[in-house]
Each structure stands twice: as structure tokens, then as C-alpha cells.
Structure 1
């Protein structure tokens, strides 16, 4: 399969001090890194596409490392998610190619993260937005870390492109208070609790 051809990257970090309540001393950081790549399958149906996942692995690792560093280093990361927006000459399954390389890249960079990396994908025109779900990196049932980040790039994806996205956060939602399993109570046995 061909090596991914990148047109551009975008990296955004938010610092959230409050959501209407008392401001916190240490803000929650939410970040996304996006890569706009050429879709090698755009324009016609291809039966055999799975090999491209292997080609995306180095890109995923590079993106995950850059994002973790932008958020203060891998030891600061508590939440993650991933997604893809496929240009209109592609198909939804082309976005699914990001599941393995995007998820395993974050696990590799973060070291032994146990929870499944939540994901979403869609086909869209340039400027399409995507809400990427976020959960705790070690236990999907930690409610305080259920979150999302809206992502997108004004001029992407073009018809023959895919926008690949990784999202990481440094903690729980600011003012999280709806109960459930707490991060301090994680057993870390199965990625759920």
C-alpha cells in the first residue's frame, strides 16, 4: 500500500478554567491533532483496503507523541478519543482504517492504557465538523471523564482526502459531579472499571 501523503497538520489545545462554577487553579487541557491525508481509495470501490492500516501506524505514533507533548507530556494524559472525516469521493469504511493505527498509537505513547479508544467517523465536505467522544484511558466507566471535542479544518477534507484526528485530555470535566466510578477507584483489570 502507498505511504500516507500529508497535506497539512493542525494542533489545537484548549485550557478550561470553569464551566460556570468557581474557576479551578489547574485548568483542564483538551487537545486535538489532525492530519489531512490523501485518500488512496477515493473515486472507486476497492475490495482490499486493510493493508493501509499498517501504513498509517507511523503517522499515528507521530501524531500521538506530538499531541501528548503539547498537553504537558504523557504522564498528564487521562482521556482520549479518535475520529476521521472522509472526503466525498471516499466512503465511510476509509475512515474505519484509522481505528487500529490511531488507537494503538495512543496506547503505545501513553504506555499500557487499558480502555478502548472511543471513535467516530463520517463522510463530509470541506469544513465538516466531528464530535469525538472521550473516555478515561484506563477505565471506560469513569463518568467524570466522559467528554467530547468538536474538531475540523475549514478547507478539509477535499473530495479525495481524509482528516484523521486524535484527541487527548488531562483530566475530568471541570466541575464533574454526576457520581459513578471515580478515577481513584480504577482497578485497571479490563479497561472498563
Structure 2
């Protein structure tokens, strides 16, 4: 890890959704998130250039993606939706969360056969803040069935001078998706609008 990055802890959360009020699924929808609680080297001060710090986070993005893939028990081909997110402690600024856009997406793209846009959620929050990480298809942002989310809360993070960087994945779309649109299979075959 970079000298700028000190990781206090990592957290992995997994959920298995068996139904969402409709029929029980043949196999549960499995989704989860992996997060790292790290120091914010720029908390409390404005720094003009954040590029070097952003680039230094690439190994963390890959590490979290690998850890989550392993914890979910997935092969890369099992992942159908993904997203990323960050929480900035109150002594930081929202741009400190934005540094996660490229490294968080890079780690998952490196592991997965993914062409889609990696969605992102970011907030400034106190200890125990709730972060919603939006999910979208790994192949296309136009697959409506895979618009979903993973929610994370860490009871002791972020402290004012910390950040939480997270990645999220799932093996399918919403349990009872039925609002039409481009299917996951069609997007995997390269059909649908390009962005």
C-alpha cells in the first residue's frame, strides 16, 4: 500500500435474498460489499492535486474486489452487477470520495468481463453513516432489471479523519424484476444502446 494509505480495518458483508414478496427464487440472489476504513491524508486541509493519491488507491481497489469475489464464492463470470462507493469523515470533503471513482472501478474491471459503467455513491458522514451503493449490469447501464443496490454501515467508521472505500457485486438483478427493457443476456451479447 501507498505511504499515504493506512488501513484501520476491512469489512465484508454478504446477503442472500430468497424473495422480495413474490415467489421464492430457485437460487438466492447473492450480493455483498467489501470496504476498507482508511486514513484521510488530506482531512482538514485543501490540496489542489489529488491525482497521485487517486492513482495510489488502485491496489486497494483490486484487493477489495478480489476479497469480495472470494467471500461471495463467485467466479468472475457469476457477477452480473456491480458498483462502488465512499464515505468521507466530516473533516474531509466530497472530492476525497471522488478519488475512488477510477481505482474502485479499475479493480472490478480488472477481475471481471465487464463493459458497463461502474455506478457510484458517495457521502460525507459521521461514525455509523449509511451508504447506499447503486448496482448496475456489468455489461450495460441500460439493463433495468439490474438497477439495485447494496447498503453498508460500519459501526465505528468513518472517524472524522477517515474514509470508507467500498466495492459491491451481485449475481443477478432484482428478485422479481418485471419492468421490461434490455435483458442481461442481450446486453452480454452486445445488444442495446451504447454509451
Q: CA separation in 1, counterparts of 2:3 and 2:193?
A: 34
Question: Contact 1:114 / 1:191 at 8 angstroms: preserved in 2?
Answer: no
Q: Which runs of 5+ in 2 are unaligned?
A: none
Task: Report Cα offsets for 1:51-101 as digits up to 9, x if no partner.
Answer: 111110011101001111222221210000101000011000000000000
Matched residue, 1:83: 85
Matched residue, 1:94: 96
Q: CA separation in 2, counterparts of 1:177 and 1:33?
A: 29
1:21 positional shift: 1.1
Matched residue, 1:163: 164
Matched residue, 1:69: 70
Structure 1 residue ranges (4+ consecutive) displaced by more than 2 angstroms after TM superposition: 187-193
Question: Contact 1:85 / 1:163 at 8 angstroms: preserved in 2?
Answer: yes
Count of matched residue positions in the alignment of Structure 1 and Structure 2? 192
Task: Report Cα offsets for 1:98-156 as digits up to 9, x if no partner.
Answer: 00000011000113x11110111111100110111100001110011000111120110
Question: Contact 1:140 / 1:191 at 8 angstroms: preserved in 2?
Answer: no
Sort the Cα spacing of 1:149 and 1:192 in 2 relative to 1 into closer, same or farther, 3 A: farther
Question: Contact 2:142 / 2:192 at 8 angstroms: preserved in 1?
Answer: no
Task: Report Cα offsets for 1:25-69 as digits up to 9, x if no partner.
Answer: 210001100100000001111112111111100111010011112
Question: Contact 1:115 / 1:190 at 8 angstroms: preserved in 2?
Answer: no
Query: TM-score if structure 1 supplies the norm length?
Result: 0.95
Matched residue, 2:54: 53
Question: Contact 1:117 / 1:135 at 8 angstroms: preserved in 2?
Answer: yes
Which stretch shifts more, 175-184 or 86-95? 175-184
Query: TM-score if structure 2 supplies the norm length?
Result: 0.94
Question: Contact 1:84 / 1:164 at 8 angstroms: preserved in 2?
Answer: yes
Matches within 5 A, 1:138-153: 138-153=139-154
Matched residue, 2:111: 109
